[in-house]
Amino acid sequence: MNKTTKNKYELFPTLMMEIGKNGDTIKSLAEKINISPVTLARRLNGLRPFELPEIVKIIKLYQKSFDELFLKDYNKKEG
C-alpha cells in the first residue's frame, strides 16, 4: 500500500462522515456540485484546493458551517 492510498481523504474526516451520513458517494456529491468525481477526489486528498463555489454548494447541501465540514480538529475543540 502506498502513502496516497493509506491516507485517503484524511484531510476532511467530518466532510467524509457527512457524505456517508447523507447517503452520498464521491460520484453523487461531485454531480451535485458540478465537478467530476476525479476532481472531487483530488480535492479531498489535498492534491488540489477546493474552490469557493464548491465550498458554498457543499455547505448549503449539508447545512453545516465551514468549520464543521472543513476544519479537521473542529469537533475536538467543541468536545
Positions in the chain short of pLDDT 70: 1-7, 74-79
Residue that is written with C-alpha cell 447523507 in the block: 22
Per the structure, the count of domains in the chain is 1
Domain that holds residue 10: 3-78
Per-residue pLDDT reduced to its tens digit, 10-29: 889 999 999 999 999 999 99
Return the CATH number at 29: 1.10.260.40
Residues 70, 13: Cα–Cα separation, whole Å: 8
Contact (CB, 8 A) for 60 and 69? no
What is the model's pLDDT at position 28? 98
What is the model's pLDDT at position 7? 57
- pTM (2 d.p.): 0.81
Nearest residue to 19 via CA among 46, 40, 47: 40
What is the model's pLDDT at position 77? 54
